Structure 1
């Protein structure tokens, strides 16, 4: 499966509650009609604090993450016809102030425990300037994933590798325009267990490794809404 992610910033004309209401109640049903769409989630940002870690973060303002699942890149690209894009864009101007688009390949490292309520943290990763993308992905996949598995209290962990970057839907952009190398999804029972996980010996070991290949981690606590 391939995930099309929108990183959203709300319109300055709306407050956070108005943005979330429009996205969920008006735009959600519109986007749910995209052809060949297999699954669709909205992740509404409810906390932008760098919880549990002391690490450089970007100045990027984010109010939500959309996740749209397709079978593959081909079906995703077929889905965004001119008519579909125009319909989406017409409504987006009513509540979105800015949006970055990326296509991702997800890797589920720890399946999410669905038998109890959880909180979800999403993080945007930027590799260190002296680390190439191949080294970043190798360290993240082969070493970092195993370190996170050893951390206490992690109820789910997914890595998302960037396949394509777009600022507009019809054109690709270079790394300098959109410097996101990966997106993390982490689930915990609550914020206390999140902070305890990173404060643990295994958490400290994990973050020590992070500093060898990642330059920025920008974290958000989100509330997830399943649309499709």
Structure 2
């Protein structure tokens, strides 16, 4: 199973969104692409922070972008993070972000994305935090089981990937706990357009998925993103 490390980024205070994007893409991106074993590299730029039809409590996340580096395995990711090519990326982070929180995830592709199909789409990413009375094993069981079966029934859905968190970092190199970084999953959903998202979550099928979500998820914090694949 592929493994990704996803960064949750808040841009540097006083830095314009344009300068943030430029530095992230042109400067930092060129460094990251040198990591050994890197399979794919995405920068997901946040363009909208509304829930768009989700009937669920929202977390307090302030996010300007999600970084994502994808490897064939956790061993390959760890090898890249211990390589000489990784060192320059750690020193550059403070030049364009004030906060970066990182999660290592196993990727569960439920419905393949339309990104190589040539069809138009919009992409939504969501940060999930489990209920405090639900442990990690129960969260994974519910999310990758019943929820993974129900969500593809939403009208208009074009793609659905679950990123199941297996490790957390408070900085580029320092691991941390769930209590410090309460992220249990990151969702990727694709729809034809923003109106299709609203319609999907007003459907009867959404009633099923959202009722189930409240059984194991505390907050769902959603963002529309413009995804750029750099590798």
Q: State TM-score, norm by structure 2.
A: 0.95
Q: Matched residues in 1 for 2:40 and 2:110: separation?
A: 20
Asked if residue 162 in structure 1 is aligned to residue 139 in structure 2, the reply is no
Structure 1, unmatched stretches of 5+, are none
Q: Matched residues in 2 for 1:134 and 1:216: separation?
A: 18
Q: Which residue of 1 aligns with 2:113?
A: 112
CA shift at 1:82, angstroms? 6.2
Deviates more, 1:165-174 or 1:50-59: 165-174
SS at match of 1:202: helix
Q: Which residue of 1 aligns with 2:125?
A: 122
CA RMSD of aligned residues (A): 1.2
CA shift at 1:109, angstroms? 0.5
Q: Which residue of 2 aligns with 1:56?
A: 57
SS at match of 1:21: helix
Alignment of 1:118-157 (within 5 A): 118-157=121-160
Q: Which residue of 2 aligns with 1:44?
A: 45
Q: Matched residues in 1 for 2:94 and 2:133: separation?
A: 38
Q: Matched residues in 2 for 1:62 and 1:218: separation?
A: 10
Deviates more, 1:109-118 or 1:148-157: 109-118
Residues 2-38 of structure 1: per-residue CA shift (max 9 Å, x gap): 1011111100030111111111122111111111111
Asked if residue 26 in structure 1 is aligned to residue 33 in structure 2, the reply is no
Asked if residue 211 in structure 1 is aligned to residue 214 in structure 2, the reply is yes
SS at match of 1:220: strand
Check whether the contact 2:55–2:210 (CA below 8 A) recurs between aligned residues.
no
Q: Matched residues in 1 for 2:85 and 2:158: separation?
A: 36
Deviates more, 1:37-46 or 1:111-120: 111-120
Q: Which residue of 1 aligns with 2:175?
A: 172
Match of 2:186 among 180, 183, 186: 183
Deviates more, 1:166-175 or 1:64-73: 166-175
Asked if residue 194 in structure 1 is aligned to residue 197 in structure 2, the reply is yes
**How many residues are aligned here?**
228
For the structure 1 residues 82 and 34, does the alpha-carbon distance in structure 2 shift closer, same or farther, using more than 3 Å as the test?
Answer: closer
SS at match of 1:67: strand
Asked if residue 35 in structure 1 is aligned to residue 36 in structure 2, the reply is yes
Residues 47-91 of structure 1: per-residue CA shift (max 9 Å, x gap): 111111121111111111111011211111111236434311222
Q: Matched residues in 2 for 1:105 and 1:82: separation?
A: 21
